[in-house]
Amino acid sequence: MGEVINAKGLIREYESVKGMIKKERIRIEALKGVSFEVQQGEIFGLLGPNGAGKTTTIKILTTLLAPTAGEAEVLGFNVFKDAKELRKHINFIFGGERGLYWRLTAKDNLNYFSDLYGVDKRTRAKRLPELLEMVGLQDRADEKVEAYSKGMKQRLQIARGLINDPKVIFLDEPTIGLDPVGARDLRNIIRMLSGMGKTILLTTHYMYEADELCSRIAVINAGEILALDTPERLKNMNMGLSVLEVCLKDIEKKDIHAISGMDGVDAVNLTSSDHVSVLRVHCAEPYAVLQKVMNLLRKYSVTGLNIRQATLEDAYIKMVGGNE
């Protein structure tokens, strides 16, 4: 079996009401025609800034939301029309602490969802302890969830999401709120699941995570897919392999333009926080442009200089734009 997820021209509009007295309806087009395919066993990443439409895409694919237009199939089932049949074979995990019954113990949470997924007694007797151990909660499984830390709740969510042994798993920011070790454990779980032939679609805001896990990544912004490729090819797309990073206090627009016009420079972007701005110059041969760039920047106080290989994050920031 090849293709597991197939989204064709997904469009989703939301309508919301603004104002109390003079009510004004506003329509937001959260997805503007999103198409992609995911193969079996693949770990497919959706990257994009806040409000890009990632969660909306996942909700449509998990049968929770109807697309305004366009179609999607998961495992050959139409996500809207065949929702009931499809639901048996998929599951999803939304990051965060909600989505659990705080007054029940971890075990009872899992038992409850086993009932709702029709998991039989024998399978359950084997699967529950396995899942609890996998997420490292076996010792505290009889405690009520309200006494859990954020990360423990998050890990219980993961166990819940695997309760029906789904063929396709959707993960919306699964490592949010996990400590570094917990996040690494989860990445190992994800890899293990993928190794078992399960298809995984995940969203994340951590670039290295996507780089490390995903076989392919779709970068989505404002409801449109900007690029879809392997992490390697995304990194190399339209740009050289290196980045010249300059930390400085401030820089005038005209100088940025001057640098981007230089020979050998592929792209320039600037990210600014309160105290420091980072200018990133993408180029194939950093030493060839270094002299020229530094000459131009002589009038500013440069506090740091770094030459490194381009990462996925550079590609991402270049695509969706920094906060220039």
Partner 1 sequence: MNKLESIGSFFRQGIFSYKALFGWLDPKVYILTKIVSPIFQLIFFCSLARFAYGKADVTQWVIGNSILMCYLNTVFGLGGIMAEERNFGTLKLIIATPYNKFVSFIGRSLMHITDGISTVLICIAAGIIVFGADFSKVNVALFAADILIAVFAASGLGMLIGCCGLVIRDMNLLMNTAATTLLALCGTNFPVERLPLFLQKISYCLPLTRSIQAAWMIAEGNRFGAVSQLMLQEALLGILYMLAGYCTLAIMEYLSRKKATLDIF
Ligand X SMILES: Nc1ncnc2c1ncn2[C@@H]1O[C@H](COP(=O)(O)OP(=O)(O)OP(=O)(O)O)[C@@H](O)[C@H]1O
3-class DSSP string for 156-215: HHHHHHCCCCCCEEEEECCCCCCCHHHHHHHHHHHHHHHHCCCEEEEECCCHHHHHHHCC
Q: Which among 100-108, 125-133, 195-203, 250-258 is the span making contact with partner 1, rule CB under 8 A?
A: 100-108
Q: Give min distance, CB of 134 to partner 1, in A.
A: 19
Backbone torsions φ then ψ of 248, nearest 5 degrees: -150, 175
Nearer to ligand X by C-beta: 14 or 287? 14
* Phi then psi dihedrals of residue 112, to 5 deg: -60, -50
DSSP label at 147? G
Residues 6+ apart with CB under 8 A from 121: none
Figure out which of the listed residues 56, 109, 199, 242 binds ligand X, where binding follows CB under 6 A: 56
Does residue 54 bind ligand X (CB under 6 A)?
Answer: yes
- Match 């989703």 to its residue by tokens: 12
Q: Considering the rule CB under 6 A, would residue 202 count as an interface residue with ligand X?
A: no
- 52 vs 317, which CB is nearer to ligand X? 52
Q: Does 242 bind ligand X (CB under 6 A)?
A: no
Q: Write the binding mask 119 to 148 for partner 1: x where contact by CB under 8 A, - elsewhere.
A: xxx---------------------------
Question: In this structure, what DSSP letter does residue 284 have?
Answer: S
- Measured between alpha carbons, how far apart are the two ends of the chain, in Å? 45
If one asks whether residue 103 binds partner 1 (CB under 8 A), the answer comes out as yes
- Best CA proximity match to 271, nearest among 313, 236, 234, 309: 313
Beta carbon nearer to ligand X, 143 or 313: 313
The verdict on 26 binding ligand X (CB under 6 A) reads: no
Residue 54 Cβ vs Mg ion, minimum distance, rounded to whole Å: 5
Select the residue interacting with ligand X from 28, 125, 147, 276 (CB under 6 A). Answer: 28
115 binds partner 1 (CB under 8 A): yes
Sign of CA dihedral 258, 259, 261, 267: negative
Cβ closest to Mg ion, residue 6 vs residue 55: 55
Choose between 101 and 206: whose C-beta lies nearer to partner 1: 101
Among 45, 48, 166, 231, binds ligand X (CB under 6 A): 48
Which run of H or of E encompasses 128? helix 121-134
Q: Which residues pair with 224 in a beta bridge?
A: 221
Based on the shown chain and the rule CB under 8 A, indicate whether residue 160 belongs to the binding site for partner 1: yes
Residue ranges in contact with partner 1 by CB under 8 A:
14, 59, 62-66, 80, 84-85, 87-88, 91-92, 94, 96, 98-104, 108, 111-121, 160
